[in-house]
Structure 1
């Protein structure tokens, strides 16, 4: 089954998501004191830092994005690669213990809804003075990696600097430039470096689930549901962020202080259950192949692969954050990455990244952590856990709402579906047209098989969609 772009219109332009904002207590506006502090921070000097605006950085983000966290320049050298990765420097704008710092700790992260986001920081910063917009000088934290010809970092430098992005690109346009053989010089080496990093991830045993991602977009007359295959450029670019997070985790572990993003290794029962599913679906899984390597080798367009990716979500349970200062925690790895890992590359949109970055800057400079940073570390796991949970609930509620809008009035119609996960009385199915994930009534439905389903319920008020086997 090919997962392609598909548009379904609701036929209404006035449908919005205010009910979801109210239900989850989302507040886009900021208190006056926070806004005043943010405005003052815009005019504050970034301090004495090297001018590295000559590095030809570019950004790659979704179309229309203004909160640009990362800018990239990748160079091929005679012996390997040099990667420059500039990250928005929120430490230049947020005063520890101030009104802004207190507010963003309560928010945790930017919450995205189809009709507008609920930002972590006031937009004067997140879409203005702190954002790595093209053509303007910005304070940044610059990570520089000198890598071997195999894509392995041999040295890492992290420092504050002034940078300037040359251009803002989106994933589709960059992919088109690669397909046409005309990539921008700053990212041309991604076509070689990205696959090298992905090969290293497979060797480590990293677990990646290639499930179709539902997206909601406006279309002028309502809302549309789309699913898009992940572009190669998206995957290559993600490897730069992962490499940076792994390097940051290594810095923290060597210094025995910091905060890690952790995920325990899959337990034996979950792996055994996945092997049984693969056997039932007649998908070969050699005994010496790790779960990550097995999943990486599946054809994501096949229905049995979608079922196995869904089953494999059981392998990735228990994600959290672990803060430490002096004593390294027992669990330091992230099973999805198959290595120690932390968040440092999205500080405009995620709270923990600013603090983790400050740890790396202090450690690499040979300095003690300032007291405000040491005191904040133990608080971050609970703050991020709460905001991660909220973000997931809002995303699910938004998808449920649009699915119900899209299917309202079509009760009784039949659709093609793939059974992703079966239970005793119902299953989870993926309907490709429109792209909907929902429950389907039926006993012992065959996982990984295509079936016909009938829409039994589409309730926009309750945000509920339910199918039954036709």
Structure 2
């Protein structure tokens, strides 16, 4: 899980228990480790020397699993992004124990202060990671970015690269960044705006203690360098998606728009937070003007992200256009193969198309097989995320029993009503059969138990809001 930080380890004991409950692996078996050691020493043989290009990486300062490095040059009116992706396919042989274990895990699983990696550290954080301590094999996508921000693939090749610097979001200075990065990011944002898309990143939640010793969840907006770096991945993934569409195949990331019920709930929540939302204004337009530095608006952005039922993977289907609502375009995930299994196959397919114009053998079957594997990994991540948030919410609210809070009903089911607090990023369930979705209510905190990761609220009454007007 990446959305909750715990820099001082307040959740440490609860997280230790949670890891055991979910049976998250602590390591890899001896066979997998032996194969990883052998793979780490495998010399590149089919790679073009691009060590003269001044690649850099840009990630969280503490990261060591570096999937991407980049170099940008001017090409007439275009910007040419050379986007190097860790060449995981070079190291992992199909059918090997290392490969089978990656298929079992699906993704790297994140939690505050730790993770369960997709590959052993000797690969994911060393030999395959694009660290600046020597040459590394990579698949380099050369992506042209036009003046209107539209991207297209100019070439794909296996290369040897050497990163010049490991830049960190938190520490990088403007003078450290490649000079064309700002222009490229502006072009990508302009194209997003033209499509009606919005890439405003939801803030991370960080558990801290205030001056009184009480826990609080702070919302940390993404940093400017983080936003610019995300534009690079977006440009590459959009260009690969178009390459796949042109060749009538591939694996896509798809996401539906929030449905009418979700929009109605969001409108109620916006009013309770004091956020103006015109009746004729769509959700994307509202997102564009949210201020993630404002507590209420940042919390509302988190609600928006939760309102969708979630993205999924879908193989190419003739006659259907794969669509990702948040991106407002066809889209793939192909830039994080150290952390996501499916990305390895997206990269390999794009490489084959770039070289020969043909799909690799078995690609269609692989793309049909991957979605349920990735969905299972996503479900594990969701259970982990929910359990971590339950724990954090109980830690946050401990000692506040008896206090009242404004909330909105987000869903009603057989087990009661699900609510979202307005002034805190907390969701919960209350045992009430007399509520309906979008009701604005007040609730009282009855129990906050970090040991059991449990909070319990009871209904006090309706908030001072005419829900029918929203």
TM interval, shorter chain, is: 0.7 to 0.9
Report the CA distance shift for 1:253/1:283 in structure 2 as closer, same or farther (over 3 A): same
Task: Select 2:197's aligned residue among 203, 206, 214.
Answer: 206
1:120 and 2:118 matched: yes
Sort the Cα spacing of 1:420 and 1:358 in 2 relative to 1 into closer, same or farther, 3 A. farther
- Measured after TM superposition, the shift of residue 47 of structure 1 is 1.4
Q: Does structure 1 residue 232 correspond to structure 2 residue 224?
A: yes
Distance 1:373 1:58, change over 3 A: same
Shift, 1:387, TM fit? 0.2
Q: Is the 8 A contact 1:305 1:448 kept in 2?
A: no
Asked if structure 2 preserves the Cα contact closer than 8 Å seen for 1:107 and 1:387, the reply is yes
Name 1:385's counterpart in structure 2. 375
In the superposition, the TM-score normalised over structure 2's length comes to 0.83
Question: Is it true that 1:439 corresponds to 2:417 in the alignment?
Answer: no
CA offsets 1:228-252 (integer angstroms, 9 cap, x no match) = 1121221121111111111111111
Give the one of 412, 415, 429 matched to 2:401: 412
For the Cα contact (< 8 Å) 1:306–1:448, is it kept in 2?
no
CA contact (8 A) 2:292 2:298 kept: yes
Label 1:35 to 1:374 Cα distance change in 2 as closer, same or farther (>3 A). Answer: farther
How far residue 444 of structure 1 moved from its aligned partner, in angstroms, is 7.8
Q: Following TM superposition, by how much is the alpha carbon of 1:253 offset from its aligned partner in structure 2, in angstroms?
A: 1.1
SS for the counterpart of 1:362 is helix
Q: 2:23 maps to which residue?
A: 25
C-alpha RMSD over aligned residues? 3.6
Instruction: Count how many residue pairs are aligned between Structure 1 and Structure 2.
Output: 446
Whole-Å separation in 2 of the counterparts to 1:373 and 1:233: 35
User: What SS does the aligned partner of 1:36 have?
Assistant: helix
**Structure 2 match to 1:195:** 186
* 2:46 paired residue number: 48
- Structure-to-structure mapping, 1:169-188, within 5 angstroms: 169-174=167-172, 177-178=173-174, 183-186=175-178, 188=179
TM-score (norm 1): 0.83
Could you tell me how far apart the structure 2 residues matched to 1:401 and 1:320 are? 27
Question: Structure 1 regions of 5+ residues with no counterpart?
Answer: none
Task: Say whether the 8 Å CA contact 2:269–2:408 is kept in structure 1.
Answer: no
Q: 1:28 Cα deviation (Å)?
A: 2.6
Name the CA distance, whole Å, in 1 between partners of 2:124 and 2:6: 30
Q: Are 1:460 and 2:439 counterparts? A: no
- Give the whole-Å Cα distance in 2 for the aligned partners of 1:11 and 1:353: 34
- Counterpart position of 2:233: 241
- Give the Cα–Cα distance (whole angstroms) in 2 for the partners of residues 284 and 113 of structure 1: 34
Greater CA drift, 146-155 or 301-310: 301-310
Distance 2:418 2:92 in 1: 50
Q: Which residue of 1 aligns with 2:389?
A: 399
* Distance in 1 between residues matched to 2:394 and 2:309, nearest whole Å: 28
Deviation at 1:7, TM superposition (A): 8.3
Deviation of 1:292 after TM superposition, in Å, equals 1.3
Distance 1:249 1:8, change over 3 A: closer
SS in 2 for 1:75: strand
Cα distance change on mapping 1:9 and 1:407 into 2, 3 Å: farther
Matched-pair contact (CA < 8 Å) for 1:303–1:418: no
**Which deviates further from its counterpart, 188-197 or 155-164?**
188-197
1:38 aligns to what SS in structure 2? Answer: helix
CA distance in 1, matches of 2:146, 2:287: 27
| Equivalent pair of 1:74/1:189 in contact (CA under 8 Å) | yes
Q: Is the 8 A contact 1:205 1:291 kept in 2?
A: no
Matching of residues 302-321 of structure 1 within 5 Å: 305=297, 309=301, 312-313=304-305, 316-317=308-309, 319-321=311-313
Task: Output one character per residue of 1:180-210: Cα deviation in whole Å (capped at 9) or x when no partner.
Answer: xxx2252x33223213312221221224565
The counterpart of 1:295, out of the listed 281, 287, 296, is: 287
Unaligned 5+ runs, structure 2: 210-214, 461-470
Contact 1:142 1:159 in 2 (8 A): yes
